[in-house]
Amino acid sequence: MITMGAIGVSNTFICDTKNNLHHKMEDLCGGKFIHIDDYAQYLPFATGVALEFAHVPAKHSFRERVATTATAVLIMGTIVSTVKYTVNERRPDGSETNSFPSGHTATAFTGAEIVRHEYGLGYGIAAYTIATGVGFLRIYNARHYLNDVVAGAGVGILSANIAYWLLPWERRLLGWDESSTSTMVLLPTYSPTQNSFGLAFSMTF
């Protein structure tokens, strides 16, 4: 998906196709844009949070899911930002030169892939449906071309999977392995003589 999206930046045939799609979307929306994609990009992540509160069993523990999500978002954001300001593809609406890849789509698909990993195919399909809707709206709102959205989806899926590949290393680094006896404690402290607050950190391994 990332490769096809990248080819679409300059390939004549794909450029003609994406431009034709852009013009058809212009005719479809008639200048009436739907900007819920700015918020909908986070819905797959919100789905994961809702499933947590609903006590739906997940594949990993809560702290592992937090670590994985943070890692995936960091990887995704780094890739998207680096490529955007390296490729310099102009947006369909002509506003900026950071169209490729779509960051909104990458965000949505990162969350969708995490939901699929943690809660299975059924919930994953629902999250992927939302993510696909975000990608459609980015094209509909003239913020991205088709190749930007396809590449963004690929970046999101890849970022989530890299985060899961790194999870065993993070477990060892943070002492979360079942065989590990290390513990970490973080407690607030108060000194009445100095009238000050602080934090006390203790780690055993």
* % of the chain beyond a pLDDT of 70: 86
Q: What is the mean pLDDT of the chain?
A: 88
pLDDT at 200: 58
* % of the chain beyond a pLDDT of 90: 72
The dihedral over CA atoms of 115, 119, 122, 128, expressed in degrees to the nearest 10, equals 0
pLDDT at 183: 52
pLDDT at 180: 47
Q: Which two tokens stand for residue 172?
A: 């060892």
Per-residue pLDDT band at 182 (split at 50, 70, 90): very low
Average pLDDT over residues 144-154: 97
Please determine, for residue 186, whether its predicted confidence score (pLDDT) is greater than 50: no
Strand partners, 200: 187
Average pLDDT over residues 9-28: 88
Give the tens place of pLDDT for each residue, 86-129: 999 999 999 999 999 999 999 999 999 999 999 999 999 999 99
Q: Which two tokens stand for residue 113?
A: 């892939």
Angle ∠(61,62,68) on CA atoms, nearest 5? 90
pLDDT at 190: 47
pLDDT at 191: 53
Average pLDDT over residues 15-23: 90
Please determine, for residue 76, whether its predicted confidence score (pLDDT) is greater than 60: yes
Give the tens place of pLDDT for each residue, 30-39: 878 898 999 9
pLDDT at 204: 53
For tokens 């065989």, name the residue.
179
Per-residue pLDDT band at 1 (split at 50, 70, 90): very high
Please determine, for residue 197, whether its predicted confidence score (pLDDT) is greater than 60: no
Cα–Cα distances in angstroms (integers) from residue 106 to residues 102, 114, 165, in the given order = 6, 12, 18
